[in-house]
Amino acid sequence: MSKAFLMKGFQSLRGNPMDVTACEINELMTIKSIETIDPEMRDFLFSLGCFEGRTITLISILGSTYIVNISDARYSIDAQLAQAIKV
Amino acid sequence: MRIALAGNPNSGKTTLFNAITGSIESVGNWPGVTVARKEGEVKRNLYKKNEAIRIIDLPGTYSMSPFTLEERITRDFVRNESPDVIINIIDANNLSRSLVYTTQLLELGVPVVVALNKWDTVKQKQTDINTETLSKQLNCPVIPISAIQNQGLRILIETCYQIKGKKQIAPYRCMIVENVEHVAESDKKRFEFVSAIVTEAEKRKVTSDKQTIHDTIDRIVANRYLGMPIFAIILYAVFSISQSTIGPWIADYMVAGIDSLYVFAESAMSEAVSPLLKTLLLDGIIGGVGAIVGFLPLIMVLFFMLALLEDSGYMARVAVVMDPIMKKVGLSGRSIIPMVISTGCAIPGIMSTRTIKNERERRTTAMLTSFMPCGAKLPVIALFAGVFFQEAAWVGTLMYFLGILVIIFGAYVIRKINNDTSKKSFFIMELPEYRWPSVKRAFTSMINQGKAFVTKAVTIILISNVVVQIMQTFTWQFQLVEEGLEATSILANISSPIAFAMIPLGFGIWQLTAAAVTGFIAKENVVGTLAVVFGITNFINTEELILVSGSIEVAGIFGLTSVAALAYLVFNLFTPPCFAAIGAMNAELESKKWLIGSIAFQLGMGYVLAYLIYQIGTFATTGQLGSGAFAGLFTVLVLIGIVLLIITKNSVETTLKVQ
């Protein structure tokens, strides 16, 4: 069982949505919310089409960097951003 | 007629601008290449009418987020420039993101034509886009084009004519919004509206969320452990081709040309020409400028290679690899873009720091980015690599990596000085798909760089060399310097006191100091001045240098050991850049305090680095410390002490404020 799988189970038990760092690779996820106190980050993600209701796919994890697919484009995001995106 | 060009970052806007106007602005396969406003005339062969068409590039790529945040910029622009038609260029591979901006443009009341760029790659991917549906839904003409392959441009311009002055009804209109929440609500609806259009018009055979070959490559080149070594190997390859093999090979031919010009000019001048004028022309102008122009092939080959790299999309991955390291010192991967641009010239590099939102991060990057070796520093690197290190490619590679290290260390120190404990800024970077780099564009970039280089050589450098030659020929009493009394010249007199301070760095000779000082005007001057003060016309061909200096070792001309030569090279690379770059820093830092701090920091950095290299290197090679070791150590300790003092002072002040 993968770590991500365990995380997923654990988080769903607690009723919390999980974030992108815990996603399975290649799995199309729907964004539940963007949780950040930084309005700039929220606006920024919004402008890329990354907000609740939209989809996101984790493509690969390179160290502390997450490659994701949002609205037909590839982005490299850091852990801080990945944690803000709840799915 | 006036046409405005608007589009998202990396949609191919600059490529289209170049294709339409025939100009050669630099392009890169990553977002945010364009910072300054551009305007041009549409090429005559693209349309039949007599009226001239101006095309204005909308300066919209300040950030990676072109929509909500930049709506205001777009509105202001349209109000100020009053274009007749807007061409909205979009990346056809990414409709869902690009069309949001399109719907905003359509609300401005100016007729819009949508140019669906990168149409060739859409076909390759077997994605089917129904342009008629798009056009109907958006209520404006949609023209598929390929800016790279020059396809569809004529129809695009023709369409602009047809819709000029016509009314378009915006398909989506945002309600009048009063507060921020409503804006967000309205924008969400906008996204939904666009999604609906895309679903209707676009049929993808391969959906974008599937793994592709690009992702596989990313996993290797942006790998946590492999990323840096791969970058090092690539840089090394670039250097060995440009500085050790193809570059010098072409350069040899050019140098032969300059030599024959020298001989021709010498023979053409009759005995009647005053010897003073003769040396000024031969040694000052042909010698000094020729010495620099000899390096032109090396530089052009290097820029050709760098342009290929940039075009391939690889540089965005370098930013990803560097991000975790940059985070540790309070910067982010965003700072890599100015650094990469600075390898061409620090001025656009410093200007591009505008794309960084965080103020401290922006200023830190603007202040440090010029540590990357730029085109003007290359002749200096090539000269020392050639004369002292047998044209080894590792010298150039080392200087680039040293540049990166110095920037990382500098950022760390600046963060401490500012006592900034604020949270790290987040990092996001679009990863454009890899593509085969265009040889044509690399060639254009190379010609651009070559042109700029030659222009500088025959203006600033030429004047500097003449001045240096005159200062070297005369004493303060405007008497000709007598043979054997070179130290009485104006140049020697001015440089000697400064040279004294350079003894601990291994090059306390007035000639070398004079060259380093003229380097602050423009870095190419270092080579030019060295050529003038040592009377050498040819730096490329080291065999000839051996002839010039007789049986003495080549390096003996400068009176330097290899270690001292490396220290001198480092001193030239890591002290303040040219005047023009300092001007750009002044503009971007927007603070005299930061500017003065930057220059002081750069001077100190160059001095300390050169000192360490010379003294440690000398100790390692000869077992003894170099001359002036203790005086230098004192200076270095004082410099470090000042920095530590400022750090402590600022940290105490912050603590007091908190209390």
Q: Exposure of B49 by Cβ count < 10 A (0-12 exposed, 13-18 middle, 19+ buried)?
A: exposed
Q: pLDDT exceeding 70 applies to what percent of chain B?
A: 89
Residue with tokens 């760089």: B449
**Alpha-carbon distance A59 to nearest alpha carbon in chain B (angstroms):** 7
Which value does ipTM take for this structure? 0.83
What phi, psi does B438 have (nearest 5°)?
A: -85, 120
Residue A12: which pLDDT band, with cuts at 50, 70 and 90? Answer: low
Please answer whether residues B511 and B533 qualify as being in contact, where contact means their C-beta atoms are separated by less than 8 angstroms: yes
What pLDDT is stored for residue B174 in this prediction?
64
pLDDT tens by residue, B516-546? 999 998 888 888 888 888 876 666 555 555 4
- List the single residue in A57, A73, A76 with the smallest CB-CB distance to B97: A73
Q: Is B324 on the interface with A (CB under 8 A)?
A: yes
Please state, in angstroms and rounded to a whole number, the distance separating the CA atoms of residues B182 and B351: 35
Structural domain spans, chain A: 3-86
Q: Quick check: B56 pLDDT over 90?
A: no
pLDDT tens by residue, B390-446? 777 888 899 999 999 999 999 999 988 887 766 667 788 888 889 888 888 888 888
What pLDDT is stored for residue B549 in this prediction?
44
A46 contact residues in B (CB cutoff 8 A): 68, 184, 187
State chain B's maximal CA–CA distance in angstroms: 86
* Average pLDDT score over chain B: 82
Q: Is B436 on the interface with A (CB under 8 A)?
A: no
Token pair for B153: 């441009």
CB–CB contact B96 A44 (8 Å): no
Mean of pLDDT values over B473-486: 79
pLDDT tens by residue, B621-647? 888 888 888 889 999 999 999 999 998
DSSP B313: T
What pLDDT is stored for residue A48 in this prediction?
79
CB–CB contact B65 A47 (8 Å): yes
Task: Return the closest-CA partner of residue B340 out of B310, B302, B366.
Answer: B310
pLDDT tens by residue, B131-182? 999 999 899 999 999 988 889 999 999 999 888 888 888 777 765 455 556 6
Residue B289: which pLDDT band, with cuts at 50, 70 and 90? Answer: confident
CB–CB contact A76 B222 (8 Å): yes
Q: At what angle do helices B562-574 and B592-622 cross, to 10 degrees?
A: 170
pLDDT tens by residue, B551-574? 345 556 677 888 899 999 999 999
DSSP string, B115-156: EEE-HHHHHHTT-EE-HHHHHHHHTS-EEE-BTTTTBSHHHH
pLDDT tens by residue, B177-214? 555 566 667 777 878 888 888 888 888 877 778 888 99
What pLDDT is stored for residue B372 in this prediction?
92
| Tally of CA atoms within 13 A in the half-sphere of B431 that contains its CB | 30
- List the single residue in A38, A46, A71 with the smallest CB-CB distance to B68: A46
B223 contact residues in A (CB cutoff 8 A): 62-63
- For A69, name the nearest residue in chain B, comparing CA atoms only: B209
Q: Show which residues on chain A lie within 8 Å of chain B, measured between beta carbons.
A: 26, 28, 38, 40-41, 43-44, 46-49, 51, 53-55, 57, 59-60, 62-65, 67, 69, 71-78, 80-81
Q: Quick check: B64 pLDDT over 60?
A: no
Residue B244: which pLDDT band, with cuts at 50, 70 and 90? Answer: confident
What phi, psi does A68 have (nearest 5°)?
A: -125, 160
DSSP A63: T
Higher per-residue pLDDT: B115 or B49: B115
What pLDDT is stored for residue B567 in this prediction?
94
What structural domains does chain B harbor? Answer: 2-203 (3.40.50.300), 228-658 (no CATH)
CB–CB contact A81 B431 (8 Å): no
pLDDT tens by residue, B259-271? 788 888 888 877 7
pLDDT tens by residue, B379-389? 888 888 877 88
CATH topology of domain A3-86: SH3 type barrels. (2.30.30)
